[in-house]
A and B are shown apart, each in its own frame.
Chain A
């Protein structure tokens, strides 16, 4: 038994040394793989799948789209904070989506939802070169500490095997950087997604105690302050959604959203770009919320005009 204990202690000590080494390699990896805005970029676009599917940067001169599906406002904030800390000469405008679903309380729970969802969200945050750690994050949002510590260990302390193996030598960035993803041209009448989205993001107060406006919503202010600090212009986008979906959203949420917009516009007049009813043709959508390829082209052309007429 003594012999086994001795061996276990040796084994554990070596493991700790290896983990320390791997911690520094991870930090170095996130540093060299950190996203640097391409030099010619004037417009940086981020947000959730609405942006990832809906904004084709080809139609907006000198722009890049780094949006990711299911990107809550706080992640956009931490991501922008990290990116703007590095060189961004030439950048004029940052575009972020700010639509009805973005104010939902449901986003506040992204770090305590299923292991898959919260693990993915936390992975994105822990992959930032200078992102917040679990303690900082836990002081802001409800956090599943088990998932948070497991994810932190996995991507920061233990060897990040798949990223090291696949991306080390390639010109790719960690998981928090997305891109334009053209969606299918046909309309997917995915009622499950439709109902689930309505139920989660816009539940009727009669059946729930959750607030109408979530804490995540306050990150639009943080983004605004960040952009001001860097002396850039911020464009917040209200995305088009299919009319039937819009009609299904309870009025309560719409008026709450209007209040948020009034507040935002009082602080910085005229920056919120309202596209919610500009595209109504269902053939330009891939489902109730997302634009398809053709929709993205039309939308991007309109956005381009707004950016280059109003903000240049």
Chain B
């Protein structure tokens, strides 16, 4: 159920009204119930699996806490993690593993024999349960005793489909107040929903028409449309995912819950390392804390080798977190290459950039990071490795320049989407430079501000005709 749909509006408005009427513990119980219903409306099977995983983790964490010094605590912990990771592997990766085994050993098993329907949101709530169980076991965190609050942590509907991946240390304490806040953040929440929907529809969905068309038949396109696709694809995925996240944060704010930010102007990163601190922050910081840092700690005596090893493992996991495809493995590998290069060339690059004006250096860095992002997103969108390679070779095949672009998008829609790119990047550039654009906007007369809101509502609703589901909901 997409946030930009009549179904969701008809689901959310009654939930909001009932939430505002209720008080205290009933608010949280109701939100937990609504979250389970939300998943049930998508699929009863997904709901049962999500509830099962949540309930088991809830029980295991309490058991670990009760028997901290007991002999069986480690067994209980590992049983829980095997369940969490095993579930993820069975649903998400088993088909991929067997397809490859089948390919190598030529078993007579039909394609997709082991491929199961991946429960929506599985990668997000599984990561939450892994970190929760780990910190209760290793760091002695207190386990959650209220079932409805734990269900909210795991399955809260605004973040269920595509994150952010929350940490219990930040999420659960919010629920310990008597009443979840009502109205304090309503305005901010509504603005975020509108802004997110605008980005999702104008960038994610409208540019998505081009991306889908091109990647459905890569070899059918000549160099020019491929270059155009190459250049817009980071903005498309950014609009789709950050738009979704803004809406999720806005919806949660209306329900008195603060979700973690997931993006921080990633296209103004000056290095790939910085990029990953600004892009899908909840995933990269989770992997940083629970994979990279753990490996570094374990192998710290090995110096640079430990860094490279930790980088390799972390980004391979980030790559395959996106899905069971070789293209995602390549994405992980490309990050390792880029970060290794940055690690070893740091001094040389600093020396070089000291010789040129700062602003020029910044723009060159932004451009290089953007191009790198565009490059690895070829593997993100391609159905398989041969499509990705065809795309890359097509970029340099200037012998087939055709005036017929065949991108299947109305010119008006495409022109507005390109204008939106300029608008979003300008806004983010000014914010990056420390200008408070929002404060400037709020100083406008009410009539003018509301006109902007109405126009945004009209544009968003109209262009929702191009709506695609959230790309990251597939992971």
Contacts and interface: CB of A to CB of B under 8 A. Distances in A.
Q: Do A and B come from one complex?
A: yes
Contact of B5 (A5, A146, A159, A165): A146
Contacts of A8: 186
Given A150-B5, A165-B412, A158 B462 contact: yes
Contacts of B413: 162
B467 A4 contact: no
A159 B458 contact: yes
B7 A162 contact: no
B184 to A, nearest CB: 8
Interface string A1-31: 1001100100100110010001000000000
Contacts of A5: 183
Contacts of B187: 4
A166 B413 CA distance: 10
Contacts of A123: 465
B6 A4 contact: no
B7 A14 contact: no
Interface in B372-414: 410-413
A115 B464 contact: no
Interface residues of A, number: 25
Nearest to B4: A150
Report the interface size class on chain B: 20 to 34
Contact of B410 (A14, A115, A158, A162): A162
Interface string B433-475: 0000000000000000010011001110111110100000000
Chain B interface, >50% SS class: helix
A154 B454 contact: no
Contact of B183 (A1, A119, A162): A1
Chain A interface, >50% SS class: helix
Nearest to A166: B412
Nearest to B458: A159
A153 interface: yes
Given A11-B450, A146-B7, A162-B412, A154 B458 contact: no
Contacts of B465: 119, 123, 151, 154
B411 to A, nearest CB: 8
A220 to B, nearest CB: 31
Q: Most chain-B Cβ atoms within 10 A of its Cβ — which of A4, A150, A160?
A: A150
A284 to B, nearest CB: 23
Q: Most chain-A Cβ atoms within 10 A of its Cβ — which of B5, B7, B413, B461?
A: B461
B182 interface: yes
A207 interface: no
A5 B459 CA distance: 25
Contacts of A115: 467
A262 interface: no
Given A1-B183, A4-B187, A162 B462 contact: yes
A97 to B, nearest CB: 24
B5 A154 contact: no
Contacts of A151: 465
Interface string A255-290: 000000000000000000000000000000000000
Nearest to A149: B6
Contacts of B453: 11
A22 B459 CA distance: 13
A248 interface: no
A158 B461 contact: yes
23 contacts: A1-B182, A4-B186, A8-B186, A11-B450, A11-B453, A14-B454, A15-B454, A15-B457, A22-B458, A123-B465, A149-B6, A150-B6, A151-B465, A153-B6, A154-B462, A154-B464, A158-B462, A159-B462, A160-B462, A161-B459, A161-B463, A165-B412, A166-B412
Given A150-B6, A158-B458, A162-B413, 6 more contacts: A4-B187, A14-B454, A146-B5, A160-B462, A161-B462, A166-B412
Interface of A: 1, 4-5, 8, 11, 14-15, 18, 22, 115, 119, 123, 146, 149-151, 153-154, 158-162, 165-166
